[in-house]
Amino acid sequence: MHRPESARPAPTHPQPSRTGQRPAPRRRSVVVLAAALAIALVASSCNGNGGQNADDALGITADCAIVVPMAVSPEKIDLLTDLAKTFNGRDVQVNGAKACVSPKSKSSGGSMQLLADGWRDEKAEGPQPVVWSPAGSGWGAVLDQRLTDAGQAPIAGQGQSFMNTPLVIAMPKPMAEALGWPQADLGWSDILAAVDDPQGWATYGHPEWGPFRLGKTNPNFSTSGLNALIAQNYAAAGKTRDLTLEDLDRPEVVEDNRTIESAVVHYGDTTLTFLNNLYRADQRNTALQYASAVAVEEKSIIDYNSGNPDGVLDPGEEPRPPRIPLVAIYPKEGTLFSDNPLYILDAPWVSADERAAAEQFISFVLEADNQQRVLQYNFRPGNAQVAISDPITTENYVDPDQPQTLLDVPAPEVMLGLLDKWNVQRKSARVLLVLDISGSMGEPATANAPETKLDLAQQAAIDSLDQFADADDVGLRVFSNGLGPDQTRNWLDEVPIEPIGTNREQMRNAIRGLFPTNGTPLYDTISASFQELVDTYDPTRINAVVLLTDGRNEDGDKSDDRAQLNALLTQLETQSQGESATPVRLFTIAYGEDADLTVLKQLADATNGAAYNASDPKSIAKVFTAVISNF
Amino acid sequence: MRRLAAVVGAVAMVVLAVAVRARLDGEQRGTDASPAVLVCSSELADVCRALDAAHDDVTVRIEDAAVTQAALTAEGASADALGIDAWLAPAPMADMVRTERDLQSLEALLGPSGPVLARTPTVMLVWGDRLGTLEQHCGGEVTWACVADAADKPWSDIGGEAGWGDVKVGFSGIGTADGMLNVAAAAGSLVGRTDFASNDFGDLGFQERLGDLARSSARSTPTGASPIQELLTKGPAAIQIAAGLEADAVPAVRAGARGDRVQVRSPDPVVTADVVATPILGAPGAERLDAILSGDELAELLASDGWRVDGQPTAPGIPTDQPLPDSANTPSGGVLLALRRTWTEVS
């Protein structure tokens, strides 16, 4: 069971923590950091094994006198849990005391920010880590830079890489072949040319594939997204190293970035959303209309081609290879490795015994036998004595002889500049927020809690507004029965879809003013909201409906619910798939225990969107942040 | 005033207690009651771990040579204060310490190094499909001098493919014996002789070419990882030419992920890492360690780890038909200190 780099959209079971914490308003960079923090919390609560049960699962027993807390990126938590169990059973001694390790899942960007802030809230975030393992060592450089900028001593220093996987451009095989693969060397410049071509795939003899559509994750949260951003900027600047802040301002670089971003389907905190959607589209034989290329790590291609797109096999699930496999394009301009460093932090909370125990664990992880396990998880071993072998083979459409050249990781200040520029250059969004104000939203969020579900949802929605860029168009719709002056309407538009730069305060006030009312006309509302976005579709933007509900369809007539749902699914699928698709994405949030996550996932999947699980109402702030990372 | 006196008195008592405890610790170390402490340079990590496991009366500490050197050249350093009895490392590392202590007018701290226990030459690992291009560029045998001319520049400048990116060279950190000796080998190649001196480092051409090697290495191993590991795990994308020691390189290439793609070369001038044990003067456990380090056990461990040891069979893959030069071909400790400074400055 692998896990993604960041929060999986669904199914998830976020746990309560840091309720009410808000990102600082206005400044997007600050918001982004806060958002990264929140994503980390979602990721940790989704994947973490908190409490005594986790200790049992890791083989941490009462005789473990030294327990080394570790924060590791989510895509490798299963591997490290596996390794930790073996290590903890070995009776490794440090100064006469048994040493054990306890890995916990934390997203790379989120944990970096927590460390930069001193990892102050152990109750909410888990113990301060002795060992930190983000996906790539670039995060270590950024952490130390942030600390240095704040007048503090760096704590990451040099890590020990223990496995690798390169960033690649994943393309459906026929599409790659249309661009000349495998004979031609392809790269970001070819992607740029294809994106920039108004004829789209018609130029390559396939008008039926439509325009060139690109899947990229949000670089503030995802290592793949960050590495893809670095790579595309190098390509635009015509460099493979020494990228500078001046380069980022060059008109041709800005233009190329805007062109590439214009082809993005949507963003998000994890590549697995794309891969899951692509897999579902493949099962419907419409994969080629969903995405033409996705920037992912090499290991994800092996997962996908084996029929396990998210790397997680649920109980009873059998991997079934897709009809159309993905092939790995190793960009000719160069790429970057996710090198999975293990940092023993030079932090005040790390004792000498913990450090010694951590060193023992790192040696253990690098042992040849344990590096064979790395291969089982589709990564490349970090120990040179272990051959790169199956599954890193051309049979799986990855190439052990690639990449041929690497890009230099830019200087930390340039990395920060890249993120700032991306916030301006990314594809704008056109989003309708649709909030449930049914009577059940007035119930307490949890037993004996003073806040209602609506209270928490309002706060989360208000906080999430800061994640939008000024140029994004955002509107607010609420739904319940008996709305409007004549009390006959199922929804009301509180704020029309307009640039949020001018209506952010109006949105805040409108959300603050909401109160719970009657039933939950879910299907009617989704149908109407989706259709409105389709009818007013803007091809230059990410068009999406974000819907939060705490209940099931409740329009006064249960007898036709099944028929309504089928009709709605047909409507969503018809508009979202095929050559004439109008790609409006539906992102659903199942809020509270009574929401029907299964149905909401079906509906989101029908549009190649994603469903998010906030069954614990206190997780809603974090979930909202994850949802808005798609824009 | 009375309160101040009390505080001063308390602090003095603590300091005295710490000093007495340190003294007692020093007296106990190396006696029958406590293990002797051996510090090993990181190139000898596996050998020394095996020693540690085999001897209850020995404690091993493994660290980069520069870390040990810094401790041994600190003012006030002594056998007691450092808590070590002997140091196992390539010979010039101890010589660098002696020179540095002389420069600082500090008393001798190291005893005379023992005989050479094992040897291994510096080597160059080249990614297979780049070797032809490199040989063509060098006009035959590949040397560090001609690699320096190409380092940090596009492969296409010397007849390679554009898709290969830049010529990327990797040296271990200059704080390791491996890195220091390979940089010495490269410097010898740039100067054209092994008896070079710090006077040669002022030459702008030398600095420029050494700088190309140093900068390329810094780019190729930004996280400080071993260049051999980087070459074998990440392939030519990360590094195409790695400097190392034969004892590390050959076993890694033989067992390794991409060993069949990598060529091991011994560029002229061949510099060797000659392992010696050096006692710390006044250390109580030095004698006991000497007995262990001069026995067959260490010789066998070194040989099986890839080092060349007189009278011992070589490990698989270690060439038997390439004799080593009589001398290590390393300059004096003072020249190495100057070279280390220069390398750091031009990086």
A536-561 per-position pLDDT tens digit: 999 999 999 999 999 899 877 888 89
Mean pLDDT of chain B: 90
* Residue with tokens 């793949």, as numbered in its chain: A224
The predicted model gives B161-182 an average pLDDT of 95
**Which element (helix H / strand E) includes A105?**
strand A97-105
* Residue with tokens 């746990």, as numbered in its chain: A15
B269-292 per-position pLDDT tens digit: 999 999 999 999 999 999 999 999
**Under 8 Å between Cβ of A125 and A116:** no
| Interface contact B234-A406, CB threshold 8 A | yes
What are the sequence ranges of the domains in chain A? Answer: 28-164+339-396, 166-337+407-422, 428-628
**Under 8 Å between Cβ of A271 and A294:** yes
Candidate from A53-67, A509-523, A559-573 with smallest mean pLDDT:
A53-67
| Assigned domain for B311 exists | no
B239 touches chain A (CB under 8 A): no
Q: Which residues of B touch A338 (CB under 8 A)?
A: none
Q: What part of B 134-173 touches A (C-beta under 8 Å)? A: 163-166
The pLDDT of residue B31:
53
The predicted model gives B225-233 an average pLDDT of 90
| Interface contact B258-A158, CB threshold 8 A | no
The predicted model gives B314-321 an average pLDDT of 93
CA distance B167 to B223: 18
Superfamily of domain A28-164+339-396: Periplasmic binding protein-like II (3.40.190.10)
The pLDDT of residue B257:
65
Query: Among B306, B32, B333, which Cα is nearest to B180's?
Result: B333
CA distance B197 to B195: 7
Percent of chain A, pLDDT > 70?
A: 91
B224 touches chain A (CB under 8 A): yes
Output the CA–CA distances (angstroms, integers) from residue A624 to A7, A269, A464, A513, A601, in the order listed. Answer: 12, 12, 6, 19, 16
The pLDDT of residue B245:
98
Q: Provide DSSP, A422-454.
A: HHHHSPPEEEEEEEE--GGGGSBSSTT-SSBHH
Same-domain pairing of B236 and B268:
yes
A94-128 per-position pLDDT tens digit: 999 999 999 998 888 889 989 999 998 887 788 99
Query: Among A508, A457, A502, A452, which Cα is nearest to A479's?
Result: A457
| Interface contact B233-A159, CB threshold 8 A | no
Q: Which residues of A touch B223 (CB under 8 A)?
A: 137, 158-159, 161, 339, 341
**Under 8 Å between Cβ of A538 and A478:** no
Q: Facing residues of A70 across strands?
A: A103, A131
The Cα of A294 is separated from the nearest Cα of chain B by a number of Å equal to 22
Instruction: Tell me which residues of chain A have a C-beta less than 8 Å from any C-beta of chain B.
Output: 137, 158-161, 164, 166, 185, 240-241, 332, 334-335, 337, 339, 341, 380-388, 400-406, 408-409
CA distance B15 to B33: 25
The pLDDT of residue A43:
37
Same-domain pairing of B136 and B259:
yes
CATH of region A428-628: 3.40.50.410
B56 touches chain A (CB under 8 A): no
CA distance B135 to B157: 14
Question: Would strands A429-436 and A326-329 be described as parallel, antiparallel, or unpaired?
Answer: unpaired
The pLDDT of residue B303:
98
**pTM of the predicted structure, to 2 decimals:** 0.78
Name the domain count of chain B.
2
Domains A28-164+339-396 and A166-337+407-422 share a fold: yes
pLDDT classification of A64: cutoffs 50, 70, 90 = very high
| Interface contact A404-B164, CB threshold 8 A | yes
The predicted model gives B309-317 an average pLDDT of 95
| Interface contact A388-B238, CB threshold 8 A | no
A454-504 per-position pLDDT tens digit: 999 999 999 999 999 999 999 999 999 889 888 889 999 999 999 999 999
Distance from chain centroid for Cα B61: 15
Neighbours of B255 (CB within 10 A): 17
Same-domain pairing of B108 and B37:
yes
The pLDDT of residue B33:
60
* Residue with tokens 């709605």, as numbered in its chain: A568
The pLDDT of residue A20:
28
Q: Facing residues of A295 across strands?
A: A169
Question: Would strands A293-297 and A163-172 be described as parallel, antiparallel, or unpaired?
Answer: antiparallel
The pLDDT of residue A123:
78
Output the CA–CA distances (angstroms, integers) from residue A220 to A75, A373, B56, in the order listed. Answer: 17, 30, 51
DSSP for residue B269:
S
CA distance B153 to B167: 6
Residue B48's domain spans which residues? Answer: 31-119+274-304
Is the per-residue pLDDT at A432 higher than 60? yes
Q: Facing residues of A100 across strands?
A: A67
Same-domain pairing of B114 and B126:
no
pLDDT classification of A242: cutoffs 50, 70, 90 = very high
With vertex at residue A298, the alpha carbon angle to CA A297 and CA A302, rounded to the nearest 5 degrees, is 120
Is the per-residue pLDDT at B169 higher than 50? yes
Phi and psi based region of residue A147 (left: phi greater than 0; alpha: psi -120 to 50; beta: remaining):
alpha
| Interface contact B163-A185, CB threshold 8 A | yes
Fold that domain A166-337+407-422 belongs to in CATH: D-Maltodextrin-Binding Protein; domain 2 (3.40.190)
The pLDDT of residue A556:
78
The Cα of B261 is separated from the nearest Cα of chain A by a number of Å equal to 10
Query: How many CA atoms lie less than 13 Å away from B274 in the CB half-sphere?
Result: 20
Structure tokens at A427: 């594809």
Q: Which residues of B touch A166 (CB under 8 A)?
A: 237
A567-625 per-position pLDDT tens digit: 999 999 999 877 677 899 999 999 999 999 999 999 999 999 999 999 999 889 889 98
Q: Which residues of A touch B236 (CB under 8 A)?
A: 404-405
**Which element (helix H / strand E) includes A554?**
none
Query: Among A247, A404, A186, which Cα is nearest to B165's?
Result: A404
pLDDT classification of B258: cutoffs 50, 70, 90 = confident
B42-56 per-position pLDDT tens digit: 999 999 999 999 999
pLDDT classification of A245: cutoffs 50, 70, 90 = very high
Find the CATH number of the domain harbouring B189: 3.40.190.10
Q: Which residues of A touch B235 (CB under 8 A)?
A: 400-404
**Which element (helix H / strand E) includes B203?**
none
Give B5's contacts (C-beta < 8 A, 6+ positions apart). Answer: none
The pLDDT of residue A113:
85
Same-domain pairing of B129 and B265:
yes
Same-domain pairing of B332 and B262:
yes
Neighbours of A218 (CB within 10 A): 31
Q: Report the residue from A161, A337, A384 with minimal CB separation from B232.
A: A384
Q: Report the residue from A159, A240, A383 with minimal CB separation from B165.
A: A240
The pLDDT of residue B3:
52
| Interface contact B237-A341, CB threshold 8 A | no
